[in-house]
């Protein structure tokens, strides 16, 4: 079963480059993971229609964390991408963070 990791930022542009790097890392490790980026305005529709396994927010929209976590955190882990990893487009580290969130959520 393919795991879906969705990244959200203001417009989805800078985050799409990070999502591509994360996808490359997932593919390199032969992980059944699909990574995609979207603008924050689409969170509600995408969570209801696609049921992502992890929701990651870009540092520039981290102020949305409480609201998004309150709405979806019970069923879907929500995290904020580290600004250093975001700035360097470190797909490997952000992918590891997403997987860690998923494991913690399942264990809870």
Q: Is 30 left (phi over 0), alpha (psi -120 to 50) or beta?
A: left
Distance CA 105, CA 50 (A): 18
Among residues 5, 6, 7, 9, the one annotated as catalytic is: 9
Q: With beta carbons less than 8 A apart as the criterion, state whether 56 and 8 touch.
A: yes
Mean pLDDT across the stretch 30-36?
Answer: 97
Q: Which ranges of the chain does DSSP label H, i.e. alpha helix?
A: 13-28, 43-50, 65-72, 83-87, 91-107
Q: How confident is the model at residue 62 (pLDDT cuts 50, 70, 90)?
A: very high
Active-site residue 14, yes or no? no
* CATH code for the domain of 16: 3.40.50.2300
Q: With beta carbons less than 8 A apart as the criterion, state whether 7 and 15 touch.
A: yes
Percent of the chain's residues with pLDDT above 70: 99
Tell me, rounded to whole angstroms, the distance of Cα 54 from its chain centroid.
Answer: 5
Domain count along the chain = 1
- 46: containing domain: 3-107
Mean pLDDT across the stretch 59-66?
Answer: 96
């Amino acid at each position: 079963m393919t795991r879906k990791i969705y990244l959200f930022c203001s417009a989805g542009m800078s985050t799409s480059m990070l999502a591509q790097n994360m996808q490359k890392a997932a593919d390199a490790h032969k992980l059944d993971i699909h990574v995609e980026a979207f603008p924050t305005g689409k969170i509600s529709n995408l969570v209801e229609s696609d049921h992502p396994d992890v929701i990651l927010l870009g540092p520039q929209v981290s102020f949305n964390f409480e609201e998004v976590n309150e709405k979806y955190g019970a069923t879907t882990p929500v995290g904020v991408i580290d600004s250093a990893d975001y700035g360097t487009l470190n797909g490997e580290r952000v992918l590891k963070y997403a997987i860690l969130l998923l494991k913690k959520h399942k264990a809870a």
